Structure 1
Amino acid sequence: MKLKYLCHRKPERTFSVRGHYFPVCSRCTGIYMGAFAYFLYAYLTVIEYDITLIIVALLMMVPTFLDGFTQLLGYRESNNLLRFSTGLAAGVGMGILTKALKYFILHL
């Protein structure tokens, strides 16, 4: 299976367990886990999507952008825990936006 299009998979930026690396980097791991957790939560509870929740979702993605962009520019070097935690928040934010988009499409 070709996962190279989903993530760069650099070993130094990827979690490993007993020498076996995850299929995606730590940031993508956080994003996927955050989105999955939100989708599970949204399946189990009723959520009213409004502009406030959408703004919160967008703000949840800002730390991931800042972490990745400042690292890309060479201002600093991130670590896997920071990549994972900012990815986790971004994943939840992306999950909210995805569900909000579905909500507004179906209820217009």
Structure 2
Amino acid sequence: MPEQLSRPRRVGIWTSRVLAVLLASMFLVPLGLPSDSVPPLSGRANAIDYAASEGRWGWGNQNHNHGSFGHNQLDHGTFVYTDLGPYAALIYLLADINCHQKAERSWEIRGNQMPVCVRDIGILAGALLMSVIFTFRGRNRWLVRDTALSVLPDRWLEPIYRTNMRTKVCLGLAALAILPIGFDGGIQMLTSYESTNSLRLLTGAFFGAGICLYFLAGMSARPSEHGHDPSMVDLPAGLSFRRPLSGHQEE
């Protein structure tokens, strides 16, 4: 009978599979379409802009030269992804809902604009990399915080646990994920500064890795797997949790 995989490993494997399919699709779909069949786009995030040639679902195919979002799509040619095959249409629909799809912030393959911008490619790539790391290194250590930290080598964690700096380190990791994309995107939105695609890719990767790490930790941290006994959790430096008389766990 095959050995049962740990919960963190199962969560990591399934998350990796989903992200790998999504990331690969962002490249394979424009690669598989006829050349120059997806013109330069410019829509809105969190909205459907290119599902139709006109009307409510065809906002992107109208003239929006006057605003900060959109452009005159007629100058580039209309695009309706519902006219594509089911797989390509689904990928461009998911992208349309989540990404502004600005042409100047996106890559092209065979003259076809990719479904999402470069920053979103970075987010997917960073999340995929983190899910692979978590698959092999993640451990259920009772709390979300400690489960997230388990991806780091124990020799790095030993002084952190001995001095009980876990929360501060977690906040530092969160800042590392959020601040670069926040500064790069925020300054770009509020000033005339224009980022580069290389920087968008990098900041997106940090953000994607951070968000994915805490998602994976949240899905994997389960006290029930330790019999609801905190002393059974394997911590670095031979330390363990203990339950005080009040009934709350602490180290």
TM-score by length of 1: 0.85
**Any stretches of 5+ residues in structure 1 without a counterpart?**
none
1:43 corresponds in structure 2 to 135
User: Does structure 2 retain, via aligned residues, the 8 Å contact 1:64–1:86?
Assistant: yes
2:223 corresponds in structure 1 to 107
Rg comparison, structure with higher value: 2
3-state DSSP of counterpart to 1:9: coil
1:1-108 to structure 2, matched below 5 A, reads 1=90, 2=93, 3-47=95-139, 48-50=147-149, 51=167, 52-53=169-170, 55-104=172-221, 106-107=222-223
**Any stretches of 5+ residues in structure 2 without a counterpart?**
1-89, 140-146, 150-166, 225-251
Q: Which amino acid aligns with 2:179?
A: V
Distance 1:97 1:58 in 2: 13
Greater relative contact order (Cα 8 A, min sep 6): structure 1 or 2? 1
Distance 1:30 1:78 in 2: 14
User: Does structure 2 retain, via aligned residues, the 8 Å contact 1:11–1:21?
Assistant: yes
Distance 1:76 1:89 in 2: 21
Deviation of the 1:54 alpha carbon: 5.1
User: Does structure 1 retain, via aligned residues, the 8 Å contact 2:101–2:117?
Assistant: yes
Instruction: List per-residue Cα deviations over 1:28-62 (Å, max 9, x = no partner).
Output: 11001100111111112235434324531332221
Distance 1:25 1:107 in 2: 39
Deviation of the 1:22 alpha carbon: 1.7
Following TM superposition, the consecutive aligned residue runs of length 4 or more in structure 1 with deviations greater than 3 angstroms are none
Q: Name the count of aligned residue pairs.
A: 107
Distance 1:60 1:73 in 2: 21
Q: Which structure has the highest helix share of the two?
A: 1
Q: Which amino acid aligns with 1:90?
A: F
The RMSD of aligned alpha carbons is 1.9
Query: 44-53 or 84-93: which moved more?
Result: 44-53
Distance 1:46 1:96 in 2: 9
Percent of residue pairs bearing the same amino acid type: 30
